[in-house]
Amino acid sequence: MTIQNVEIAEETLDVLIIGAGISGIGAAYYLQKELPLKSFAIVEARGALGGTWDLFRYPGARSDSDLYTFGYEFKPWKNDKAIADAQSILNYLRDTAREFGVDRKIRYHHKVLNASWSSESARWTVEIERADSGGRKIVSCWWIFCASGYYDCENGFSPRFEGAETFRGTIVHPQKWPEGLDYAGRNVVIIGSGATAVTLAPAMAETAAHVTLLQRTPSYVMSLPSQDGLANVLKRMLPEERAHALIRRKNAARQYWFWKFCRTFPRTARKLIRAATRKQLRADCPVDVHFNPPYDPWDQRLCAVPDGDLFKTLRAGRASIVTDRIDRFAENGVRLASGKTLPADIIVTATGLNLLPLGGVAFSVDGKPVNLPEKVVFRGMMLDGVPNFAVAVGYTNSSWTLKIGLLCKHFCKILRHMDESGAAACVPRLPAGMKTRPLLDFGAGYVKRSLHQWPRQGEQAPWLMSTSYQADKALIRRKVEHANLAFSPATKANAPANAEPRVAASA
């Protein structure tokens, strides 16, 4: 392989973690806690840790899951607000990385371009582009843990709008929010109906002349308290770690059972959500027009608004909501299919995100490119036919991090088992004739647009993506061995350099 401007790395690693977001930081914590002799590094394409929470800078950016479950099991969330803003989450991640020394393992401006596996050496050879110097380097590693998330950090989804070039104001996508954008006293039209749009509207309405939330298709919007009253009581009464564990367990169960109720009794769930929404709005608001999605609850993720901030803004008249189709952009706003024009000085295209499987890295095994749509996910974290590779994919029906923590623990268990058994390579093998289906069983537009690029899942464990935290907790208690998981013995040429001491399998 010939590469220009290559800096040959002097080191080889046991594990290379791709991505310094919430998943990568968590993986690093568990790896150094469970397997302290393993050498590892985190490579991050951007210049800061935090992933999503450092990337999104739009007004009001926040979580839509409580931080007792979205945060780490090992790092209690101390803020009284359970639904937190992006800066608070970013501070939490920075504190976590610093407290556990993970920040010293991060290499910024390191973008992984490709990774090739050699069965002969039982190693990955990884080509990395240095964004800060323009050069490239090669790193060799035993395992890759891909924690890049599933968003394309470079570009969000923005459909073409007829007449956009004639609009005299400013058009901005939330993912590329310009620093210092002044919207005070201006008319703003936000195009979209998802989590980003319902977050932006109340935040911008605080200083804008008026904000119009323009949606083509309504979403389910639910008000959640920004503070968890019971959690705050438990934090005052119990030791920190004990309180955190109880709150986390309580909230994880609540999330799952609410999702289960919505999926089992969709008509009842729809009526209850509609009734709750109506109570939040003025009597003259046409709820059946603006808050009546054509799909069942949790066919797509519900939008959470802390303390009903969106509804309060609509009631106060600082914002309005319009459900219609766009005909074209005009010089002074957005012309609708109904013939009405919404006046705008600023148009925000909160039209969604693009997904990017495995951070856009090109993988190959023994010289053959890995075609992701042909692969099937094993135990929610490995790909059939791809050795010594793990990927972090969290829940879509609950807090992402709940699953990531379990996957990281099981990942460490696999590595320990390989040390104990003297294995150099571990690879899932797909059973012949097994039926598959899309990996992300989710109706959101950003998911549907990219499903053809992603691996798939099977119809039963261990090839089925579980949606239950309680069921997945059993994962870390299972034996690593499985009929569909093949281990190759190490030789003198390919044995891991930093094998952990052999201990009892229960350790």
Higher model confidence: residue 495 or residue 364? 364
CA–CA distance, 170 with 189 (Å, rounded to integer): 11
Residues in Cβ contact with 428 at an 8 Å cutoff, skipping those fewer than 6 apart = 378, 379, 382, 383, 384, 385, 386, 484, 485, 486
CA–CA distance, 83 with 228 (Å, rounded to integer): 9
Tell me how many helices (H) and strands (E) the chain has: 13, 25
Over 80: is that where the pLDDT of 477 sits? no
Give the mean pLDDT of 355-373.
93
Over 70: is that where the pLDDT of 206 sits? yes
Q: Domain 164-227+279-349 - what CATH class? A: alpha beta
Q: What number does CATH give the domain 6-153+354-489?
A: 3.50.50.60
CA–CA distance, 323 with 192 (Å, rounded to integer): 10
CA–CA distance, 355 with 156 (Å, rounded to integer): 9
CA–CA distance, 123 with 140 (Å, rounded to integer): 7
Give the mean pLDDT of 283-289.
91
Over 60: is that where the pLDDT of 488 sits? yes
The encoded tokens of residue 456 equal 């798939």
Give the mean pLDDT of 381-397.
93
SS (H, E, C) 356-407: CHHHHCEEEECCEECCHHHCEEECCCEECCCCCEEECCCCCCCCHHHHHHHH
Conformational region of residue 308, where left means phi above 0, alpha means psi within -120 to 50, and beta covers everything else: left
pLDDT, tens only, 303-335: 999 999 999 999 999 999 999 999 999 999 999
Cβ atoms of residues 424 and 494 within 8 Å: yes
pLDDT attached to residue 501: 60
Over 80: is that where the pLDDT of 449 sits? no
Report the 10 Å Cβ neighbour count for 472: 20
Report the range out of 24-28, 132-136, 252-256, 443-447 with the highest average pLDDT: 24-28
In which band, very low, low, confident or very high, does the pLDDT at 474 lie, cut at 50, 70 and 90?
confident
In which band, very low, low, confident or very high, does the pLDDT at 444 lie, cut at 50, 70 and 90?
low
Residues in Cβ contact with 292 at an 8 Å cutoff, skipping those fewer than 6 apart = 218, 274
Over 60: is that where the pLDDT of 9 sits? no
Report the 10 Å Cβ neighbour count for 241: 11
In which band, very low, low, confident or very high, does the pLDDT at 453 lie, cut at 50, 70 and 90?
confident
Over 60: is that where the pLDDT of 1 sits? no
Over 90: is that where the pLDDT of 250 sits? yes
What is the 8-class DSSP label of residue 466? -
pLDDT, tens only, 28-82: 999 999 999 999 999 999 999 999 899 999 999 999 889 999 999 999 999 999 9
In which band, very low, low, confident or very high, does the pLDDT at 409 lie, cut at 50, 70 and 90?
very high
pLDDT, tens only, 216-230: 999 999 999 999 999
CA–CA distance, 379 with 77 (Å, rounded to integer): 29
pLDDT attached to residue 2: 43
Q: Among residues 20, 16, 57, which one has the least CA distance to residue 39?
A: 16
Cβ atoms of residues 38 and 68 within 8 Å: no
In which band, very low, low, confident or very high, does the pLDDT at 503 lie, cut at 50, 70 and 90?
very low
pLDDT attached to residue 133: 82
pLDDT attached to residue 446: 67
What's the one-letter identity of residue 367? G
The encoded tokens of residue 101 equal 């020394």
pLDDT attached to residue 507: 29
- The mean predicted confidence, pLDDT, of the chain is 90
Give the mean pLDDT of 99-127.
96
In this prediction the pTM is 0.92
Q: Among residues 315, 363, 332, 343, which one has the least CA distance to residue 125?
A: 363
Chain region(s) in the chain for CATH 3.50.50.60: 6-153+354-489, 164-227+279-349
CA–CA distance, 275 with 375 (Å, rounded to integer): 44
CA–CA distance, 360 with 375 (Å, rounded to integer): 16
CA–CA distance, 339 with 401 (Å, rounded to integer): 45
pLDDT attached to residue 504: 37
